[in-house]
Amino acid sequence: MLALFVVVVGLGPPGPAPIISIASPTVVQWGTTVELLVRGKHLASTTRAVFSPAGDISCEVASRKAGEVRLRVTIAAGAELGERELRLVTAAGVSNGATFYVGSLPVTVATDVKGADGAPQRLALPAVVDGVISRQGQADRLRFTAAAADILVFDVDAVRSGSKLEPAVTVEDHRGRAVAWERPRIDGDVTVVFNAPAAGDYDLVIRDLRFRGGAGFFYRIRCGDEPGGEPSAAVDGPREAEPNDVADEASEVSVPCVVSGRIDQAGDADVFRFKVDRKQTLLIDVIARELGSPVDALLLINDAKGNRVAANDDGNGRDARIRRAFGPGTYTATVKDLVGAGGQEYAYQLSIAPPKPPAPSFALRFLPDTPRVGRGSHRKLWCQATRSGGFKGEVEIAFSELPVGVTASPVTLGPGNGWTSVLTLSASADAALGSAPMTMTATGQIGTEKVSIPCAPEAGGMERRQAYVTVLDHPPVVVGRLEPPSAEERKQYADQLTALRAQLVAPSDEVDGERAAWEKGIRDSAATWVVLEPSSMKAAKGSKLEKLADGSIFSTGKKVQTDTYSLVAMSHLASLAALRIEVIPDESLPKGGPGRQPGSGNFVLNELKVTCAPADRPGEASPVKLQNPAARFSQNNYAVALAIDGDPATGWAVHPQENRPNWAVFDLASAVGHSGGTRLEITLEQNHGGEHLLGRFRVSVATARLAGKGRALPERVVELVRMEQRSPEAGKELDAWFREHQSQHLLTIRKRIEQIESGFGGGLAIDRLKEVLDTQTPELAAAQRVWEAAHAQKLSHWIPTPFTLLKSEQGVGFEKGPDHVARVRAAVGNTDTYTVEVLTDVRPITGIRLEALAGAPLPVGGPGFGVNGNFVLSRLSLLTWSGSDAAAAKPAPLHRPQASFEQPGWPVVNTLDEGDNTGWAVAGNIGKDSAATWQLKQPIDQAGSTALRLILEHKSVHAQHIIGRFRVSVTSSPDPGLADRSLPMAITDILACPESARSPDQEQRLAAFYRSIAPALDPVRKRLAVVSAQQAPFPPTVARGKKTRLAVRVARRDGFTGPVKVSVEGFSSGRDGKGNPQPLTANIKTAMKTLAVGEEVVVIDLEPTNKSELGTRLVVIRAEAKVGKETAVEYSAPIPLTVNK
């Protein structure tokens, strides 16, 4: 477990980074100056543009606004040809990358010629056409001149560059008749090969196949008799010898070989003959794409007779590859362009050789490619190593180029983290502001050599050329490690706490002045509440509504998922202005209530509706509008206002503040009241399901609306404030409440105490909180007496009985211990039957109880001898006799069994059937005590002592599922059983014992148990859990299926008071189905927590799944805060999290 803190300051976020959606033109000719139009978002503050590679390019910003920037770009003559990456830089960061190309051919930017009469745009060949189909139905038309028999190739680049365009391309003659059309390529783009039938003008027409359009429908077309329009690709190695277009003219090559070739013209084919001397596997590969060639390769293999042996046209990308076994003989390999194109640019290499195992290697990617980090903060990145050729070693990641003041913790990728990890950048408090390139390097051991390679940045699933980091000013949210204090600091803090706590109770003129002003405000605004006493109460689904002495209403009855309560009550107040619903905890409700939800004690009040009518004319009822709702506490996303919003799917709830008083108040939009009395009908709709129903509540009305302060006060406080003359005790009570809850002067002192206790190690707070939980007070003693009285009425008084005989069918030995406990020394067989005899003077005997007691040295703590600590009691039977006449023993039938815990499928009622393969078992409660009771069908009531013989049969097929420690008790209670199965048996025995007969030890144990569940101490227990979590060792280690916790502390200052969302983030191995980094939640269960206004500490649970990846990986804390219109997100430094089996 680990403690962290988040400092939230009042500065605003820097705003969003720039985003480029499109840049045009996408092709620029070397030796020219052009205007690049860049469209996107958040571009108004662009200061410069950066290029990768940057050589031979100069640029200035010509104009800028939010949605577009115009750049004046100059490309030097002879500049490096090919792809370039453009990004824009603002004070808020660096944009995503936009791609454009530098070429040697002239560039024609296509224009949208609207209408049938628009003149086509002139195109001089050779050239590159750059265009966008920006609207639906658009077709770009470009007119060029061709001589008779000219062979021209128009190669479209759209899909392979990420465009949405599905290109449809034709060449039309002067009559508008199509004379050539596209040939589809494997990569989704098209090529048109046009053989001009006559000299003249022709139109090149391009549109979207489905007549769509938009900014993302861009394209480029390389036009001319030399497709691609660029210098020929450099190809090394022996070259083909022409002519070699048919098998009879094939170029002879030997295996292995690498031959360079070229598809010189449209329709060309190159044929190579090779000989195989023995049966072997060969890899035949056409390499073109790596050379920058447009060849869309088709590879054909024939034998000596001309029979086709193999064909391939879809190897890696546009290249072709064949791998197969060849027998001895002579073969030919034919290389063509799939669409019949050709030209000087259509170069390739043909490789024929036995396949070689790939050499061990690795490659690295990371994202994002433009991280932003605030001064004094951190930024999360993701990195992944991909391995090939059997490489299994570790890879070390480090940044080799970062701006001044920015650092990165080194990361090692390996089997322990699945070669995937969080990587963090950290900026010092004085790091240089602005954006700069960053470079990451990966180093691994291959054989005897250490190899270092650059890591590729990634965006949108594609590699990018260069990554950039931006350092921003101090962010509004900063996450950091919370270090415990030194021993000397701890003593200083303890002294400070003593002095500060003394101030909380010391007389103070400032506090007295605060209280006087506060009391006056409360007297001016407080209203008198009158409890309504319903004359009619109904529940639509069958809940039973009962009115208690304090005016509250208690809901019990059959189990229902939803219900609607309807109350009718009369009021004789002249004017009604406000309504209050109090929800009241009760020990008999689940978890103490105030709701009936079994797992939490919560409720959801979906809709509250009120009607009023004159008391004598109920038929004139009209709706009462409620407004200005307020509550003592509302659950996140279940605000009290949702109880009157008219939406039955929303409502008011109070988690996690169940088991404590709460209330909601509402103003009536208009005061109501009738001289002869007012009939009110209150409807409480509870539609949430899952038994989220009110368990105990009270309804009151007031004659005045509750302005401001009066809404949030307990009724007792209002009563004390309004007293004309207070007793000294009442004055002390009010003063103590005011100091605890209202004094702003003392609140500052309390916050300082809280900061010292929780923010600097927490050990001091733990000591104090434990002291509170261990201290019995008069208030706790009084509450305990009420709790005892409520439970004692339901309890059976069980009396342990001494054993007179302990015998085993298998001959095991027994030991008698204190408190009438029997322990079996060791199990002998897989099954066994115990005969247990006891003697008691209790009369009448109405029930028996068997306790199966856990403890060492039983497996897993028992209470059984099974390897998992379990047992199966197949059958229990009882015989009885009077005195010492065992021969007179007769059966005593049992019924109505109960158990404190039952394993699913193994209930205690099975002990009364005749089957050996059933019984009572307790898996799910291993290592803990369990108990079962049986009632006698006919009570045993006879003079003198009564002997009982219990036969405990263990016949299960599961080996040694036999009870290891047990105790037998009897009772004379009229309805014996386990009245409250939530209480430990030791506690129920003490409760059943009269108070006058309890020992001091029993009194202490009972008081300690009550303090562990006392509602008044619930806030202290929760606070102790939070502070204890902060003391956990670092780094956290957890086993599969178990939980660990991270405590995060938030300090707000400089005016920021809003909520902060806190979560744990990281990565699992590999990527998900969409190619994104696999999130941590694929292996670790965790949930975001929200620190509400006024909250400073939150604990986040981490639970690895049962199949979670093992090893150590880095995680980070993510803090998100809404500051103004912007959202600030910051991260912690990396935290090692280890998952074991």
pLDDT of residue 757: 66
Of 13-27, 373-387, 644-658, 1022-1036, the one with minimum mean pLDDT is: 1022-1036
pLDDT of residue 1025: 76
pLDDT of residue 1053: 63
Provide CATH 2.60.120.380 ranges for the chain: 19-224, 247-353
Mean pLDDT of 429-450: 93
pLDDT of residue 1126: 83
Element (H, E) at 490: helix 487-505
> Which residues lie below 8 Å from residue 304, measured CB to CB, with a gap of 6+?
329, 330, 331
> What distance in Å separates the CA atoms of residue 1141 and residue 1138, rounded to the nearest whole number?
10
- Would strands 32-41 and 48-52 be described as parallel, antiparallel, or unpaired? unpaired
The DSSP string of 911-964 is: GGSS-SS--B--TTSTTS-EEEEEEEEEEE--SS-EEEEEEEEE--SSTT--B-
pLDDT of residue 231: 36
CB atoms closer than 10 angstroms to residue 238: 12
pLDDT of residue 947: 92
> What distance in Å separates the CA atoms of residue 343 and residue 263, rounded to the nearest whole number?
6
The residue written with tokens 């209002």 in the block is 718
pLDDT of residue 761: 47
pLDDT of residue 1096: 65
Taking only the tens place, the pLDDT of each residue in 583-626 is 999 988 998 999 999 989 999 999 999 999 999 999 999 999 99
> What distance in Å separates the CA atoms of residue 695 and residue 553, rounded to the nearest whole number?
8
The amino acid sitting at 1092 is A
Taking only the tens place, the pLDDT of each residue in 813-824 is 999 988 899 999
Q: Please give the sequence-ordered ranges of beta strands (E in DSSP) within 77-217, or none if there are none.
A: 82-90, 93-94, 98-103, 107-109, 121-122, 127-132, 139-146, 151-157, 167-172, 178-181, 183-184, 190-195, 200-208
Taking only the tens place, the pLDDT of each residue in 864-916 is 999 999 999 999 999 999 877 888 899 999 999 999 899 999 999 999 998 88
pLDDT of residue 13: 63
Nearest to 213 by CA among 145, 112, 64, 328: 112
pLDDT of residue 487: 72
Taking only the tens place, the pLDDT of each residue in 714-755 is 767 877 887 777 888 888 888 888 888 888 888 888 877 776
The amino acid sitting at 652 is W
Q: Residue 983 gets which letter from DSSP?
A: S
> What distance in Å separates the CA atoms of residue 97 and residue 94, rounded to the nearest whole number?
9
Judge whether 1039 and 1141 are in contact, CB under 8 Å: yes
Nearest 5°: CA angle at 1098, between 1094 and 1101? 160
Q: Report residue 28 as tokens.
A: 């620029």
Mean pLDDT of 770-788: 84
The residue written with tokens 């990641």 in the block is 397
Please say if the pLDDT value at position 681 is more than 90: yes
Taking only the tens place, the pLDDT of each residue in 546-558 is 999 889 999 998 8
Q: Report residue 741 as tokens.
A: 């809850």
Taking only the tens place, the pLDDT of each residue in 336-382 is 887 777 777 788 999 999 998 888 999 999 999 999 999 989 999 99
How would CATH label the architecture of 528-712?
Sandwich (2.60)
Q: Select 365-466's CATH number: 2.60.40, 3.30.60, 3.40.50, 3.40.1350.
A: 2.60.40
pLDDT of residue 980: 61
Of 328-337, 477-486, 1021-1030, 1033-1042, the one with minimum mean pLDDT is: 477-486
Report domain 247-353's class.
mainly beta
- Above pLDDT 90, what percent of the chain? 50
> What distance in Å separates the CA atoms of residue 297 and residue 233, rounded to the nearest whole number?
15
Please say if the pLDDT value at position 229 is more than 60: no
Q: Indicate the pLDDT class of residue 758, thresholds 50, 70 and 90.
A: low
Decide if domain 1025-1140 falls under CATH 2.60.40.10. Answer: yes
Please say if the pLDDT value at position 330 is more than 80: yes
The residue written with tokens 């506490």 in the block is 633
Mean pLDDT of 50-65: 92
Counting runs of H as helices and runs of E as strands, what totals does the chain give?
Answer: 10, 77
Fold of the domain built from segment(s) 19-224: Jelly Rolls (2.60.120)
Of 399-408, 475-484, 883-892, 1060-1069, the one with minimum mean pLDDT is: 475-484
pLDDT of residue 34: 94
Report domain 799-978's class.
mainly beta
Of 124-133, 194-203, 316-325, 348-357, the one with minimum mean pLDDT is: 316-325
